[in-house]
Structure formats: structure tokens, C-alpha cells
Chains A and B, each alone.
Chain A
């Protein structure tokens, strides 16, 4: 993501991220054709190794002098990582699939409009031509746009590593600003979105002071399913930019489950969203503002998701 869009600083102790220096000489670039080869390269790397998908965060950090990679592993030559596929159990989105491509995948938009609209809010058309939702997640910015939408969707991150494969919920990937739970040699191969039951909908909203190309001051993802009577059967609510990592807010989901999203339920959801916030004051928003807006966005996103699910 371009410099103006990377904003990890508010949640860092020191104002500048620590500089990670070369351990060897020149940077080595590798473009393996299989996941296994990528894992092997990352596992045996001496010094600082980074995965390159779209590069819209990595190159900015390299050029800003924040990192000096010893090894960059480009995953765009790995065929499986360049594919977005509908499967029996949902959708599998390869780690190298650009957000622009997601925006052109109509069947995905039908199933997960909120996830795609979040992915298509990242940066400009140029950035969307390269950036990926896996990169957005692994950059671990608290305000990453696609992450709250994925968390609300119940998305799983499929991880490959030296000890084999594992799958974890997206909300467990980032553990702090710029930090992930991935171990040495591990990389995320794909995001898996679950199969959509009938009468389901999702939505993502963010507050920014401009009309586009900005970082979320607060953001919210809601995904829900309705029963045959039009009552909310299942729901997940997530918030971005109000804590060091994106939050799943189970109390907000509980507030609307079993309701027809009436005013009282929406008010309760809003209160739960505000209560979950642990924001900071910074140049983009105050604690008070973020806490209040979280409730507003929560209610609005829930209404959109409800409407998309066919709720009345």
C-alpha cells in the first residue's frame, strides 16, 4: 500500500518502525513455481526474508529504508496462488490474486459482496492491480480494509510451512501492528471463505475524511444469515482501526441474533461495538470519535448486510 496508506505508527511504541538491516550483501530475488519451493526458500533463509505478492506494501517499506531484505520470494509464479476458485466448501482465493481481479469475479461478488467491496477500497486502481487481501492481512495494519470484512465472513487463512499445512481464522493472523503469528518458513497460500447459506449477506463500511484513497479511521464488517422467517440466525461483526488488531465482536453479533434487526437490536449492537473499542488518539481521530463512530458504522453495515440477505 502506498506510503500515505500504511499507517502503523499510531500503535507503535517508537514513532519510526525499527529498521531491519541487511545481514548479507545484496538482496536475492527468487520466483519459485511451487509452494513447497517457496517454503523451502523461506525456511532456510539466512537474514531477513519477505514474501512478495503485489508489493504495494513491501516495496514502499524497502524504498523508505525501513527494511533491507536479504531474500524476497515472489509467489506470483505459483499457479495455485494466482487462482480464485469456487469449491464445494466455499471460495479459495490464492495469495497472489489481485484485488482488481476479485472485483471482476462476479460470482464471488454475489456470494461475498462485503469482502469484495472492502478489497476494492484499498488504494487506487493502480494499487488494486497489484495488492492482495493476503498481503493486506499479513502487513498486519490495524486499519487494513479487507481484514474486518474477512473476519466477519469467518474466513480462514491457509498456511503452508516446513511442518506442513495448517488453517487458522483470519483474526488470529495479526497479533499486533506489523506483527503476525506466522513462524519462520511459513506463508499464507490462500484465504478460504465458507460456503454461503441461502438468505445471507455481508457488508463493509469505513469512515474516512475524503471520498477515497485514505486510511480507515474506523471500519466495520458485518456478515449475517437469516432463517426462513427473516430473523437473523447467525451473525459476525468485526471492527477495524479501534485496537492494535482487527477485532471480532461477539457481543455485537449476539445483540442481533434472533431479531429482525429492529431498532432496539441495532441500538444494542451499536453499544456493543462502542464497548469493544480500545482505540488511540491520533491525527486521524480521537478515542471519543472512534468509539462513537464504531456504533454508527456497525448499525449501518448491519442494515446493508440484512438487506443483501433479503431481510425486510
Chain B
């Protein structure tokens, strides 16, 4: 039996219908049409499906769609302000911190969550903070540099 879920996604009030055993990732992609969060492993190992629920970074593949009731969800689609990219998005492009791009939405959301708690992380803190996100293209160095550069800009330094 399908369940109706009322939630807030990127600041917008959204209602969707999903099955009780459907993941939040599937609901976002297939019911709401937000395909930014990706399914990599589907078991919480790769971080490609990273979103925040009530400000907390999570893997949307390890949450149920029905759990979103009354919560505040943020996905990569909400990061840019209209045409103006978030500093992290801009720095990922400038530093070529992506190739195939599958992991990128997850990295952006995880990096934003990291910087919201720690605006000035050192390299080790960035690497540990993003350890739940796997990238098979870049070798991570460019991602770390992009996050450091974005953090610098966001701090106004």
C-alpha cells in the first residue's frame, strides 16, 4: 500500500507517494524527479547518494522515503542560487575535481556539511570528513584542493 509523504525539499513543500519499503533515494529520483543524488553501491559505502535530513549528512539509500515525513531534506539541486553556483561547485569546476561526475553531487553535499561544522579544516580533516565518499576518477587530490579553496573563499580569507 502506497503512503503519502509531506516533506520539505530544498526549501520547497513537496508531497509524494511511495511504497513503505522504498528508499528515500529512489523516492527522490523516481517520484520527485530529483536525480542529483546517485545510486552507487546502494549499501551506504560510496556516498554518491549523500543528502542532508534536518541538517544531518546521511546516505539517502539507507533511509526510507516514508521517513522524510515532516523533515527538511537538502539535495545538490538546492546548492546553487539560481544561476549562481555555490562556491564549492565553482571550485570543483576550477580545480577539475571531477571527471565522470557520478560521485560529485555526494561530494558537494558532504563537503558543505563538513564546512558548516568546520569552516577551516586541514587536509587530514577534509580527507577524514569525505572518507564516506568514493571517487574512482580523480585520485581525491583535486577534490581536497577544491574544498580547501572553497573554504578559504567562504571564510572570506
| Chain A contacts to B: CB under 8 angstroms | 1-4, 26-29, 31, 52, 54-56, 59-60, 62-64, 69, 72, 74, 76, 98, 100, 123-127, 129-130, 212-213
Q: What CA separation (Å) do A56 and B63 show in the bound complex? A: 8
Chain B residues within an 8 Å CB radius of A76 = 67
**Does B62 lie within 8 Å of A59, measured CB to CB?**
yes
Give 15 A-B pairs besides A2-B43, A63-B42, A127-B62 with Cβ atoms closer than 8 angstroms: A3-B43, A28-B20, A55-B67, A59-B63, A59-B64, A60-B62, A69-B21, A72-B64, A74-B64, A124-B132, A125-B57, A126-B59, A126-B110, A127-B59, A130-B58
Partner among A28, A31, A62, A213 whose Cβ is within 8 Å of the Cβ of B132: A213
Task: Please tell me if the beta carbons of A125 and B110 are within 8 angstroms of each other in the complex.
Answer: yes
- Rounded to whole angstroms, the CA-CA distance of A298 and B111 in the bound complex is 36
Contact, CB under 8 Å: B64 / A126: no
Are A26 and B20 neighbours in the complex by a CB distance under 8 Å? yes
Q: What is the number of contacts between chain A and chain B, taking CB atoms within 8 Å?
A: 104
Interface size class of B (residues with CB under 8 A): 20 to 34
The residue among A52, A59, A64, A98 with the most chain B CB atoms within 10 A of its own CB is A59
Contact of B47 among A52, A98, A126 (CB under 8 A): A126
A-B residue pairs in contact (CB < 8 Å), sample of 13: A3-B43, A29-B66, A31-B66, A31-B67, A55-B62, A59-B64, A69-B21, A72-B21, A100-B56, A100-B57, A123-B44, A124-B44, A126-B58
- Nearest CB in chain A to that of B130: its residue: A125
Please determine whether B63 and A130 come into contact, CB atoms closer than 8 angstroms. yes
The 9 closest A-B pairs by CB, nearest first: A124-B132, A2-B44, A29-B20, A3-B43, A2-B45, A129-B56, A27-B21, A129-B58, A126-B132
- State how many angstroms separate the Cβ of A47 from the closest Cβ of chain B: 14
Q: Which one of B3, B53, B67 has the greatest number of beta carbons of chain A within 10 Å?
A: B67
Residue B104, interface by CB 8 Å: no
Most buried by A among B62, B63, B69: B62
B50 interface residue, CB < 8 Å from A? yes
Chain A proximity of B96: nearest CB distance (Å): 24
Other-chain contact of A27, B20, B45, B57, B63 (Cβ < 8 Å): B20
If A29-B3, A31-B69, A55-B64 touch, whether A4 touches B42 (CB-CB below 8 Å) is no
Q: 0/1 per residue, B71-94, Cβ < 8 Å to A?
A: 000000000000000000000000
